[in-house]
Amino acid sequence: MIAIPISAFDPGSSLFTDIMEWTTQIFWTFDILMSLITGYVSKGQIVMSPFPIFIHYLKTWFVLDVIVVGPDWFMTFVALSAAGEDEGGSTSVSRLMRSIRVVRTVRLLRLVKLKRILDMLKDRITSEVVFILLNILKLIILLLLVNHFIAALWYSMGSLGGDGVPNWRDAYNMRPEQQSIYYRYATSLHWSLTQFTPATVDVHPQNMVERTFAILVLIFGLVLFSSFISSITASMTQLRNMQEDKSKQFWLLRRYLQQKQVPPDLGFKVLRYTEYATSSHGEAIPEHRITILGMLTKQLRSELRFVTHYSASPE
């Protein structure tokens, strides 16, 4: 998600990028092996038998994993073989590497699998406040990632005009030999962000292709940013309502203590304990509020009730 768009800016190779490439490649290769020994859920039941797991993996994620990992290893072997070639052979290999660089875009298919991993992490969140805050953070990261991709596309647009056709990279001196990769990326990202917000930037399209792309991004940004603002507002409203309910309870408690003329030292103890209880234990959730539990089988419901009652009164 990060490295593929950055490649549009011709970042070159470094020790850090090489380490990250190998780390990512090895991780997703081992993910294939781990998938062969990881159980799955079928019709509400957990399956842990090796052969059904193998068949299920072949029918689901195997093809996607091969499509994602295969080109990476192929390009790795091509690059390693180029190290032992002479200058002419090395030039041919380099040309081949550049021509098939687009194959690396299949790495974006990992987003499908990444969503499954994020859903598993989401299931472990028990605090509603933390869940809402993480949802807001997810929206912000999503907006930045979209602009990250658009910035790379906008920079690539500067090379599509052809000979004699003006383009924004030449007009603003944004060639690799003229500016650092950091400045070129920052300028492209700045342009992308201004298409989503009422801000301005001193970079403008220079030909019909760039202007058409800018119009399409502007329309897309209008829809996406409106949805983003709506989702953020809904999450903030939900978070504010939760805090208001808690504040209202403490306000009623203070009024009650005052009306009943409770001694200040006792009132202070009551307030401090209720603050501790609400922050450490939270609100007890009765079973009847969780209507989805009615969909469980009798066996699962009996096991759940046994565990919950046993944990509540172990003696």
Helix axis angle, 208-259 to 128-157, nearest 10°: 170
CA atoms within 13 A on the CB side of 5: 19
Number of residues that make up the chain: 315
Helix axis angle, 62-82 relative to 15-35, nearest 10°? 140
Contact partners, residue 211, CB within 8 Å, separation at least 6: 205
The phi and psi torsions of 168 (rounded to 5 degrees) equal -70, -30
| Residue % of the chain over a pLDDT of 90 | 18
Q: Is the pLDDT of residue 54 over 70?
A: yes
Burial zone of 163 (CB within 10 Å; 0-12 exposed, 13-18 middle, 19+ buried): exposed
0.85 surpassed by pTM: no
Per-residue pLDDT tens for 69-96? Answer: 887 788 778 777 766 555 555 555 555 5
Q: Is 47 helix (H, G, I), strand (E, B) or coil?
A: strand
pLDDT, tens digit (0-9, with 9 covering 90-100), for 114-151 = 677 777 777 777 677 788 888 899 899 999 999 999 99
CB 167 within 8 A of CB 214: no
Q: Find the mean pLDDT for residues 268-290.
A: 74
